Amino acid sequence: MSIKNIAGKRVVVTGGAGFIGSHTCELLLEQGAEVLALDNLATGHLANLDHLKSVVSLRFEELDVATGNALANAVESFKPEAIIHLAALVSVQESIVNPELNFERNVTATQRVIEAARTNNVSRLVFASSAAIFGDNTELPLNESSDKRPLSPYGAAKLASEYLLMGAAYSYNLTVTANRYFNVYGPRQDPKSPYSGVMSIFLDRFRAGKGVTVYGDGQQTRDFIFVKDVARMNVLGAASAQAGFQPFNVCTGRSTSLLDLIAEFRKYFPDAPETAFAESRKGDIIHSLGDPSAARNAMGFDATTTLSEGLKQYLDGEGVAV
Ligand code: UD2
C-alpha cells in the first residue's frame, strides 16, 4: 500500500479545516489528489488551510455534514473516489454534558456520510474513530480485537459509527477503514479548553512562560502520535483497495509518561516554573498504549516520528490558527 496511489483521485475531507483534517488535506494535495474540504467551522478554523489557499486542487465549502442536504449535494457534484470523514464533536467532556449533540455530530453525521457514499457510488470511506472506544480496558497494548468498553457518550458514538460503517461496508461493497486514533499531537492543535490534549495545553503554557499542572503523580502514560503520521494513515485508507471493513489502532506502540513528556519540553523551556501537581482527574485512565502491528502488516503504516522529533516540529509550528 502506498499513499502515491491517491494521485489524481478526488477526495472529500469532512472536518477539513480541523486539526487532523488540515494535515490530511495537505498530504493529499502533496500527493496530487484533488480535495474538497468541508467544515462547519465549529471547532475548525479556515486559518488552518490558509497556507494551502493558492493550491488550485483544493476547494473548501462551509457546510454541516450532519444536517440538511449540503453534504449529499457536495458529494454529488464533486464525485469523489473517497471520503475521509473527520468532522465530529471532538470533546469527550462536551459529549457528557450534551449527549444529544454528540449523537447528531458523531453518529447521525456518519450515517449521512454513508448515505452520500451509497447514493453517489463512492467506494472508499475513512473514518476518524478513537481509542476512547476501549475505555478503561487495561489489557495493554490494545489491539484491534481488545474489548470495547466506552466510558463516555463520545466513545460510545465512535463505536456505534464503526458498527454502522461495518454494516454498510458489507451491504454496499464499500472499502472502509476505521482509524482509532490514540493521543494525537502537533501543529494547529487547539489548546483552548482544559480538556484539550495535554500536549497542546503544555506547549501553550510553556510558551507563555508559565509552568504546567499535572493531575496525579505524572506516572500516567499515553501513546502519543504525531499528527502527520495520522494524516498518512488517513491517506493510506483512502488509497486502500482492500474490500470490506478494517479497523486499525493508529498508534506508535511507544509509551510516554507525563513526567518524561515534561522533561522533553524542558529542553526547550529550561527556565519554565516548577511543575505543579494536583488531584487526579476523576475517571482518568492511568495507562494507554496501542499495538501498531495490524496497521503495519495490512497497510505498511509505521508512525515513524519519534516524540522528540514530533515535539520539535510542533514547536517550530506552522499555520497555528488559535
Ligand atoms: C482524552 C480523550 C481522548 C482525546 C484526548 C485528547 C477519553 C477517554 N479520551 O484522552 O479521546 O480527546 O483526551 O487528546 O476521555 N493532564 C495533565 N495536565 C493537563 C492536562 C492533562 O496532567 O493540563 C493529564 C490528564 O489528566 C491525563 C493525561 O494528561 O492523565 C492525558 O490527558 P489528555 O486529556 O491529553 O488525554 P486522555 O488520554 O485523557
Give the integer Cα–Cα distance in Å for 152 and 142: 18
Does residue 249 carry a pLDDT above 90?
A: yes
Task: Please tell me the distance from the alpha carbon of residue 84 to that of residue 100, in angstroms, as a whole number.
Answer: 24
Q: What is the pLDDT of residue 87?
A: 98
Number of other CB atoms surrounding residue 114 within 10 Å: 25
Which atom of ligand 1 has the smallest separation from the CA of 91? 12
Judge if the beta carbon of residue 201 lies within 6 A of ligand 1. Answer: yes
In order of 20, 46, 217, the CA distances from 258 in angstroms are 22, 32, 9
- Model confidence band, residue 317 (pLDDT cutoffs 50, 70, 90): confident
Q: What is the pLDDT of residues 108-133, one digit of tens each?
A: 999 999 999 999 999 999 999 999 99
Q: Is 294 helix (H, G, I), strand (E, B) or coil?
A: helix
314 is a catalytic site residue: no
Are residues 263 and 195 in contact, defined by beta-carbon separation less than 8 angstroms? no
Give the residue-averaged pLDDT of 272-284: 95
Using CA atoms, how far apart are residues 292 and 301, in angstroms rounded to an integer? 8
Pocket lining: 132 vs ligand 1, CB cutoff 6 Å: yes
Atom in ligand 1 nearest the alpha carbon of residue 222: 38
pTM for this structure? 0.96
Cell of 183: 493521543
CA 111 – ligand 1 centroid, Å: 28
Is 80 exceeded by the pLDDT of residue 151? Answer: yes
Distance 57 CA to ligand 1 centre (A): 36
| pLDDT-based confidence at residue 318 (cuts at 50, 70, 90) | low
Residue 267 to residues 239, 256, 272, 292, 294, Cα–Cα distance (Å): 39, 16, 10, 28, 34
pLDDT tier for residue 283 given thresholds of 50, 70 and 90: confident
Q: Which atom of ligand 1 is nearest to the CA of 151?
A: 8
Distance 82 CA to ligand 1 centre (A): 31
Q: What is the mean pLDDT of the chain?
A: 96
